[in-house]
Amino acid sequence: MNKRRALLVGFGVGLMAGAALLQLMTFGEDLSAGTALPPEPLSVAQLQEQAEGKGYAMYKLSEPMYTQAQLDEAAAKAKADALAAEEEKSGQAADGTAAPASTPAPSASATPSPTQAAESGPESRLGLYVAAGDSLDKVATGLKALGVIQDKAAFVKAAKPYSGKMRVGLSVFEGQMTYDEIIAELLRDKNK
């Protein structure tokens, strides 16, 4: 058997190479004859149906998307505005006189800026999702954008020994935290 082993291996490789070349030639003939057409593009309805079948949802880029925190804040602001308007209306009804209509004051934005969030005290909770493979520099950039840290370079220097140990998941930061507390949150197991 050992004498013919090279012959049998060569024969098997030759059969596989011949079959592959035959398939390639057949595909080339079909392509030149026009019978092998590329797949038809999906319509929007078909694409949405397939996405829903796999558990995804499609949204247009022109539609605004909000986080749950932004939605909750906008709802709270609308409720406060409605209560203020109702109190104003009941105050006018009690006086019996109609106050002249005044222009409404400009409202604050629905999303707080990073500095507003950091200054709002221990009640403020900010979250940063650490994805698999995120570098320490990318995480530090996200923390600076949220207003959790002020000096990116100093944080990177302090967290460098722990850069490979950051855990994937949502890290939550409350109020003014020290670098050690921030690093501890990044190293916390998020699956529990």
* DSSP characters over 120-163: T-TT-EEEEEE-TT--HHHHHHHHHHHTS-S-HHHHHHHHGGGG
Type of residue at 175? G
Domains of the chain (ranges; CATH) run: 43-90 (no CATH), 114-187 (3.30.1490.480)
Q: pLDDT 10s per residue in the chain (192 long)?
A: 678 888 899 999 999 999 999 999 988 887 777 665 666 787 888 888 888 888 887 777 777 777 788 888 888 999 999 888 888 888 776 655 544 444 343 333 333 444 444 444 445 788 888 888 888 999 999 999 888 899 999 999 999 998 888 888 888 888 888 999 999 989 888 776
Torsion angles phi and psi, residue 98, rounded to 5: -95, 125
